[in-house]
Amino acid sequence: MPIHYYLYRQLKGGGMEIYMIDFFDVLELEKLLSKMQEKNAESSMEDMAVNLVTGLIAGQKNSMEWRNNFQNFCHISPACGMYLAEKRSDDEIVLKQILEACDQTTLKSIASKYGKNSKIGAIVEKFCSTPKHPSLENELKANHESFYQLLVKQMEKEGYKTDADYYNKLCFSRQTFSKLRNPDYNVSRENAIWLTMGLTPNYQDGTRLLGAAGYSFRENKRRENIMIYVMKKGRYTLYELNELLSYFGEIPVGCEG
């Protein structure tokens, strides 16, 4: 029989509510979050980027540790396939992926580490000076299903017959949900997470859904790490996810933003 934590919560109107969380899930999550905290304390974003570039130059890109760090830094899901095994995944292509995940401060750190006269420094400088083209982003969006289109497919998969069936169950605003039908509407991160996790998807479907909204699950964030854990674990309910989030002091899913 599974062992559970029986926890007590004070209700607003007085009285107590009892709920339970699987004991082994709590233990496993505590270990995972502890490791994540240690890892984050050890290396900043700048350090991670420099280490990735250094490892790339040293020919480490096919090592498991380097690839895991690369996936986490660039927010790439393993479900996307073995991108490093593709023909186009030469060092310069991989370096570009790392640079695209960097902010300006991190890019300056990399340029400072190797110097402007080095090959890496020249690539970083060229990358920074290259103007970003909004038309390319629009072209990429046009060739992929929108967040709303993927959401509808997942809703049908889970047995919802209409949009209203789903957003009413979540207590999500009808007005906000209707805006999703507009392909130019930028859904907020919190709403995208709410609508995604409300469908209790597996990890692959969840990352695909959130990705269509322009976001990714961040493994360096405790709250989203718990979501990743639950999706990879198997079937669950939004209630169970929120109980785990509350237990670890994180904000439950369901705060419209």
Highest mean pLDDT among 9-13, 73-77, 100-104, 172-176: 172-176
Range in 82-96, 202-216, 218-232 the model is least confident about: 82-96
For residue 245, pLDDT beyond 50: yes
Select, from the ranges 125-139, 162-176, 243-257, the one with the highest average predicted confidence (pLDDT): 162-176
Q: Where are the domains of the chain?
A: 4-40, 43-130, 143-247
- Are the C-beta atoms of 169 and 237 separated by less than 8 Å? no
Report phi then psi at 94, rounded to 5: -65, -40
Structure pTM?
0.54
User: Which of 40-54, 158-172, 176-190, 220-234 is the least confident region?
Assistant: 40-54
pLDDT in tens, 80-103: 444 444 434 577 788 888 888 887
Instruction: Provide the residue type at 214 as one letter.
Output: G
User: What pLDDT is attached to residue 1?
Assistant: 32
Cβ 5 vs Cβ 23: under 8 Å: yes
| Average pLDDT value for the chain | 75
Greater pLDDT, 22 or 73: 73
